[in-house]
Structure 1
Amino acid sequence: MSTALTGAPTPAAPPGPAAPRARRTPDDPLHDSLPDPLPGPLPDPPDHPGTDDPLLHPDPATAAEHATTEAVLRCWARETGTRPDAAGRLNAPVLGGAARLSAPVRYWSPCGRHRFGPATVGTGPGGPAAPVDAVTATALLARTADGDGRHTDPGRIADLAARVADSVARTTEILAHRRTAADPAGHTPFLRSEQALLLGHPLHPTPKSRDGLGPAESRAYSPELHGSFRLHWYAVDRTLLAADSATAESADRITERLLAAPRLLPPGTAALPLHPWQARELALRPAVAALLDQGLLHDLGPHGDPWHPTSSVRTVTRPGTPWMLKLSLGLRITNSRRENLRKELHRGTEVHRLLEAGLAAEWRAAHPGFDIVRDPAWIGVDHPGLTDPDGLSTVLRHQPFGPADRVHCLAGLLAEHPAGQRLDSHLGRLLAVLADRTGRRPGTVAAEWFLRYLDAVVLPVLWLDGTAGIALEAHQQNSLVLLDRDGWPVGGRYRDNQGYYYRASAAERLTARLPGLGSTSDTFVPDRVADERFAYYLGINHVLGLIGALGAQRLADEEVLLAALRRFLAGPRAAATGSALPAHLLTAATLRCKANLLTRLHGLDELVGPVETQSVYVDIPNPVAAA
């Protein structure tokens, strides 16, 4: 079992029967110098067998409370640098030191994907202690997360606690539904993984908070609840039409075909698709209401076949349609209100044009299995009375996946499914099948899957950074992996028109490819900012998050995977990309890491303001370089 490199060990696992040792074969990707993988899934600590996992509690509300408390504790441990004590408990002084919040450590992860038992609050070791719920735990820890807590705004703590309560309630609803409901017939692998994030971001204090959704709306609009809904349509007078397309077809022609009812459009107007929640809210905004009254906007109502929300909630897909839509949605989801900014709309078309100007051909020549899911068109409204964001803009995204394509959002592939007799994930089930089919040890299969994943998905992202000077915000939810028929990674895709950082040092060569690049998209950033964001999103959230998930789910030993990662980063293929990230991960004692608890506590919206100040970042120990 993995332990923190600077902390106390987790409780010892029972010895169990020895598994037969498989002979190394010539095609085994593990180098002889790597630690030998464990012979199978790691056993649970003796006092917490797998079927007693709190996430499997038969009451969905109890399981949801625990899942949220665990996420808050992970955030607090990471952002304060706290490690378990010698007894294997995580402790936090609260109420000015008058009490202590404590939780037993079920699994301590070098990469931060810790598992905890139920949290309690008491006066100290040996004293009486009482169970604590997620909201109370968050309110108590919030005062200690930001230094001594004397300057913490009580209003922000109250807001955070309210959003934790909302996240718990929605997680309860999700677990109750998914413990009894199967995936609907006809859903593609892509859509199933988009709807698989039942617990959400494992290092966010409010992973499922969605301010403003009523119960019926939640059922319709939540991907985890298998939601679906008809789009709400406006017609915009062409004198106010704002649109761009980097494809052969104009944006308004694409939306007219998606509406599939041109008779509904008044003369001289274009079709504008909206999220139904957003349409209801927009009608209450004075500037939009005035345009409706003046006949410059026309409310056409809901039309067409149902669309399905993906993991971001606001992006929707419909099987058989060549487009996905990234809708504006004014809900606060995790840290931000999700309305499209004008610079993001320009960024999507700009990236498509840049790739088609020759960069994509070079990239595919080096990494033929990887590409970017394009956002080549957008449509919206221009009027001096509207602000940015105006809530009326929609991104048109290519839908490149067929019904037989085994393409998965990485976050969905790793997401735990708290149902049945054991906590598992889609990747866990896939690896078990591979191990059974090949007759190899599960730990070895997991390590090989990880190494193939690095080649198929991570290496191309390093290439784009080092060769082109573009760092991607490639966190797990933005990253898609393509699997072959057996389940091995063979390619990848990146998606998100928000998540690009053009390096200032690459400005000359990038603008030579596409003159005027960045003038409207506001995408060039200083290299130090690109370095920090790239190291967090690809290094910490994506790769170390993958290692942590495999470890926490007892699918592999994290130390083995960290050793495999070091070999990959030090190898010639990573060096040939020209990216500075491999050397940084191999040598830096600490890494800059986004602090979701502090970001939420400070009331920051990650889509507002300069990129340098949108989130709080802290230094954490680097487990890659630690050995």
Structure 2
Amino acid sequence: MSTAAAGGLPAQTYATHDHATYDHAVHDHAVHDQAAHDQAAHAPAAQSDASRAIAVPETDDPLLHPDATVAADCAATESLLRCWVRETDLGEPPGGVLRLALGDGLLLAVPVRYWSASGWHRFGRARLVPGASEHPGHPVDAVTVAALLARGSAPATSLDGAVPRHIADLAGRVADSVRRTAGFIADRRRAPEPALGTTPFLTPFLDSEQALLLGHPLHPTPKSREGLSEAESAAYSPELRGAHLLHWFAVDQDLAAADSALPEDAAAITASLRGEDGPPLPPGTVALPLHPWQARELTHRRAVRELLDAGRLHDLGPSGSPWYPTSSLRTVHQPGTRYMLKLSLGLRITNSRRENLRKELHRGLEVHRLLSGGLGQEWQAAHPGFDVVRDPAWIGVDLPGADPAAANGVDAVIRQCPFGPGDQAHCVAGLVAERPHSTAAGTPARSRLGDLIHTLAARSGRPTPTVAAEWFLRYLDAAVLPVLWLDGHAGIALEAHQQNSLVLLDAHGLPTGGRYRDNQGFYFRESRAGALEARLPGIGRASGTFVPDAVADERFAYYLGINHLLGLVGAFGSQRLADESVLLAALRGFLAGPSAAATRSTLPALLLDAPTLRCKANLMTRLHGLDELVGPVESQSVYVTIDNPLAVVGGASSGPVRTHQTSGAPQ
């Protein structure tokens, strides 16, 4: 009997029984890269020169500081520094200390706990040091770090007179993010995650949606939510396991706007979701679901206020059963309900106000109709474990005199919910998210990914790095190949960053498939316009989804290549689950292998061969004061050029490059 089977894992579903099997699995993916095969076959626990841990005791992890506010501030400082290192293309500092000259004779000195080839560095407490002295310096908070880094970036960003305004905005958002993160950490420390099944509403899907306590590891203000009170935060925040009722308006039918690719129309769906405790719909109206924060906000907007006063829009108030916010806040989920709702929410969350645009609503229907035909059948035949979470209907209001292309704050997406209460469907960002609290046994909590890998290793009796590398290879097959197939065979590139990506796991925690969500995040390649038009006449006319191939290449490389895949490698490395150099070599082997070639996507060659990659710069985007959902896709955010760690693994070399320009796409 194999050790896997002896540990409770069926041999036929867990092909990691011995090193020979593992060596064979890696060889299949890395046959074109002998270095990958040699490294992965031995799967060393020690870190390589490219990504190694500095000798800092784990108990000194600043994220585990007993004061939740200090832990939150340290997390914010780490995010700022990761952004700065990436966006200014800094290399690994000598001596295990990052030293940044700030001007005026000041130096920011930060111990490096872990240097990541993929960008997920870990840092200790930052100190402000007089540059020419031997003084050890003074601890410095995240808001001060943000302001000092922002001031230092002014010559590079060409902000000139706008600099003070943008610096103040950044500092304010950092402070807001730290304050909210401290509350999230304190709440989880008081009540760590309950076991699945002990709380009626907690499903595996919702559990991972509520797991992002610290947020995007390469964003300067990951938890900034300006305009949300403490009471509202408790109800609307997934990190606090919030829940709230929907607020309902009724809109006269002559003002209502809607579309549906389902047998039932959007108005029938929303009417079924209201519950029976609300007032009846006035005659000749349809039910419009709203986020409660947005409902209050809308009553102060002139166009909406006039419709309410004229009796053409009716405020019905809250009703129904509670809905639970997912990781985006504005998409809400009610376990047991066939639909989720992606609501308009005018809060500034990270970089943008999250109000639905009409073109995005059209895009969701286009994709559903496209995949409901021959393309979807072809895709499912090749990759039956993967699909798009569909947005097949929407409902809203045509505000009199308003620009139909602009966000009106009222429109809502009706999203299908394909997950049952027992389905192991996990947001990838939630799976890898660090947990800055202790377990019930008093030991530091691992990420959900860490728990998975350690459990698999314990059951099989095999080294943790070996199991981690195999899980990663399975993940590439289950959740990445299908995304490459859709690009190569159909010309549709997905904005598949970690928060938009869901992985499906079997009963043992092994990847078996995935889902992609987000009607904002589709790029139709202009070179494939004819073929897509033949599949769905009129596609793209209302949604504005076609982009030049060069734009699709840049976005696809960033969202899937850098944010998603390199971010996953960095999570494995920084959490001491695997050696990043092994995973990078395995990723190269996967990209160079026959399965990736069969997808016909151009992304594998780009990631393998390009010495540099274009990378979204969240800190610089913030310093330019950009809202990433406003304006043309080519100029919504700042992109910089960074060295490609996959090319470095493969032997290519490139010097530091520090160019940047505005370029589009959120997250």
Q: 1:396 aligned to 414, 419, 425, which one?
A: 414
- Superposed CA deviations along residues 378-399 of structure 1, whole A, max 9, x for unmatched, are 0000122334200000000000
2:34 maps to: none
| Aligned counterpart, 1:9 | none
- Name 2:606's counterpart in structure 1: 584
1:348 to 364, 389, 394: 364
1:575 is aligned, of 562, 576, 597, to 597
**Structural mapping, 1:471-482, within 5 Å:** 471-482=493-504
Q: Aligned equivalents of 1:594 and 1:149: distance in 2? A: 14
Matched, 1:168 2:178: yes
Q: Report the Cα distance in structure 2 between the residues aligned to 1:383 and 1:604, rounded to whole angstroms.
A: 26
Match of 1:621 in 2: 643
| TM-score after normalising by structure 2 | 0.89
In 1: Cα distance, 2:527 partner to 2:156 partner: 40
Give the whole-Å Cα distance in 1 for the aligned partners of 2:91 and 2:241. 38
Deviation, 1:530, is 0.4
Do residues 337 (structure 1) and 337 (structure 2) align? Answer: no
User: Does residue 554 of structure 1 match 2:572?
Assistant: no
Alignment of 1:38 with 2:44, yes or no, is yes
Deviation for aligned residue 1:117:
0.7
> Are 1:301 and 2:301 counterparts?
no
**Conserved 8 A contact 2:154-2:163:** no
Q: Classify 1:266/1:469 alpha carbon distance in 2 versus 1 (closer, same or farther; 3 Å).
A: same
How many Å separate the matches in 1 of 2:132 and 2:365? 59
Deviates more, 1:253-262 or 1:296-305: 253-262
Once residues 389 and 18 of structure 2 are traced to their aligned partners in structure 1, the CA distance between those partners, rounded to angstroms, is 41
Q: 1:99, 1:148 → 2: CA distance?
A: 19
CA distance in 1, matches of 2:427, 2:568: 12
Partner in structure 1 of residue 129 of structure 2: 122
Q: How far is the alpha carbon of 1:148 from its aligned partner?
A: 4.9
Give the CA deviation at 1:101. 1.2
Q: Does 1:315 pair with 2:331? A: yes
Shift of 1:125: 6.1
How far, CA to CA, are the matches of 2:417 and 2:132 in structure 1?
56
Aligned residue number for residue 246 of structure 1 = 261
**In the TM superposition, what is the alpha-carbon distance from 1:65 to its structure 2 partner?**
0.3
Matches within 5 A, 1:19-98: 24-28=19-23, 29-31=25-27, 32-35=37-40, 36-39=42-45, 48-94=56-102, 96=103, 98=105
Instruction: Please name the residue that 1:19 is paired with.
Output: none
Matched, 1:190 2:205: yes
TM superposition outliers: structure 1 runs of 4+ over 4 Å: 40-47
Separation in 2 of the partners of 1:256 and 1:344? 23
Give the structure 1 partner of residue 544 of structure 2.
522
Distance 1:564 1:546 in 2: 13
- Please list the CA deviations of residues 297-325 of structure 1 after superposition, one character each: whole Å capped at 9, or x if unmatched: 00000001000000001000001100000
Instruction: Note if contact 1:40-1:442 (Cα within 8 Å) is conserved in structure 2.
Output: no
Q: Give 2:467's aligned amino acid.
A: V
* AA of the residue aligned to 2:139: P
Partner of 1:113: helix, strand, or coil? coil
Give distance in 1, aligned partners of 2:54 and 2:484: 42
Alpha-carbon shift at residue 126 of structure 1 (Å): 4.8
Q: Using the alignment, how far apart are the partners of 1:272 and 1:41 within structure 2?
A: 54
Quick one: distance in 2 between partners of 1:170 and 1:223?
A: 12
Change (3 A) 1:576 1:149: closer
1:109 matched to which residue of 2?
A: 116
Are residues 86 and 123 of structure 1, via their aligned partners in 2, closer, same or farther at CA, if it must alter by over 3 Å?
same
Q: Which residue does 1:427 correspond to in 2? A: 449
3-state SS of 2:414 partner: strand
Hey, what does 1:291 align to over in structure 2? 307
Cα contact 2:105–2:132 (8 A) shared by 1: no
Question: What one-letter code is carried by the residue in structure 1 that aligns with 2:112?
Answer: V
Partner Cα separation in structure 1 for residue 254 and residue 54 of structure 2: 70
TM-aligned CA distance change 1:44 to 1:63, over 3 Å: farther
Q: 1:93 to 1:367 in 2, by over 3 A?
A: same
Q: C-alpha offsets along residues 95-116 of structure 1, whole Å, 9 cap, x if unaligned?
A: x352111211100000000000
- Tell me the equivalent position of 1:260: 275
Change (3 A) 1:290 1:574: same
Name the structure 1 match of 2:484: 462
How large is the RMSD of aligned CA atoms in angstroms?
1.7
The question of whether the paired residues in 2 share the 8 Å contact of 1:40 and 1:555 is answered with no
Residue number in structure 2 paired with 1:360: 376
Please state how far the C-alpha of 1:556 moved relative to its aligned partner: 0.4
Shift of 1:489: 0.1
Report the CA distance shift for 1:182/1:423 in structure 2 as closer, same or farther (over 3 A).
Answer: closer
Corresponding residue of 1:418:
436
1:273 corresponds to: 289
The 1:125–1:537 alpha-carbon spacing in structure 2 relative to 1, beyond 3 Å, is farther
Alignment deviations for residues 42-91 of structure 1 (CA, whole Å, 9 cap, x no partner) = 99967521122110001000000000000000000000012243211112
Work out whether 1:225 is the aligned partner of 2:240. yes
Does the 8 Å contact 2:46/2:579 carry over to 1? no
Deviation at 1:468, TM superposition (A): 0.2
Letter in 2 for 1:71: S
Partner of 2:9: none
CA drift of 1:251 comes to 0.2
* Deviation (angstroms), 1:357: 2.1
Q: 2:38 & 2:598 partners in 1: Cα distance?
A: 23
How far apart are 1:172 and its partner, in Å?
0.3
Q: Distance in 2 between matches of 1:542 and 1:435?
A: 24
Q: Deviations over 1:401-434 (max 9, x none)?
A: 0011001000000000011132520010011110
Instruction: Report the secondary structure of 2:38's partner residue.
Output: coil
> Is the contact between residue 44 and residue 50 of structure 1 (CA under 8 Å) also seen in structure 2?
no
Q: Report the 3-state secondary structure (helix = DSSP H, G, I; strand = E; otherwise coil) of the residue aligned with 1:26.
A: helix
Instruction: Report the residue type matching 2:476 in the other structure.
Output: L
2:474 to 444, 452, 455: 452
Post-superposition CA distance 1:459-509 (Å, at most 9, x none): 000000010000000000000000000000000000000000000000000
**Residues 571 and 137 from structure 1, CA distance in 2 versus in 1: closer, same or farther, beyond 3 angstroms?**
same
Gap runs ≥5 in structure 1: 1-21
Secondary structure of residue in 1 paired with 2:225: coil
Structure 1: distance between partners of 2:211 and 2:122: 20
Give the Cα separation in 2 of the matches to 1:544 and 1:305. Answer: 40
Aligned length: 605
2:107/2:131 contact within 8 Å kept? yes
Q: Residue 109 of structure 2: SS of its match in structure 1?
A: strand
Give the secondary structure class of the aligned counterpart of 1:63. Answer: helix
Contact preservation (8 Å) 2:54, 2:114 = no
Tell me: CA distance 1:147–1:454, structure 2 relative to 1, closer, same or farther (3 Å). Answer: farther
Aligned-pair CA distance for 1:554? 0.4
| Residues 1:369 and 2:354 aligned together | no
The structural deviation recorded for 1:130 is 1.3
Deviation digits for residues 107-160 of structure 1 (CA, Å, limit 9, x no counterpart)? 000000000011111122653211110000000001223445772611010000
Question: How far apart are residue 180 of structure 1 and its match?
Answer: 1.6
Paired with 1:146 and 1:578, the residues of 2 have a C-alpha distance of 42
Contact 2:497–2:560 (CA under 8 A) maintained in structure 1:
yes
Q: Are residues 254 and 554 of structure 1, via their aligned partners in 2, closer, same or farther at CA, if it must alter by over 3 Å?
A: same
What is the identity percentage for the equivalent residue pairs of Structure 1 and Structure 2?
A: 65
Distance 1:118 1:182, change over 3 A: closer
Instruction: Say if 1:97 and 1:459 are closer, same or farther in 2 by CA, change over 3 A.
Output: farther
Q: Which of 161, 164, 167 is 1:154 aligned to?
A: 164
Distance 1:147 1:400 in 2: 49
Aligned to 1:12: none
Please tell me the residue identity of whatever aligns with 1:115: R
- Whole-Å Cα distance in 1 between the matches of residues 624 and 498 of structure 2? 24
TM-score, with length taken from structure 1: 0.94
1:8 maps to none
Q: Which moved more, 1:80-89 or 1:344-353?
A: 80-89
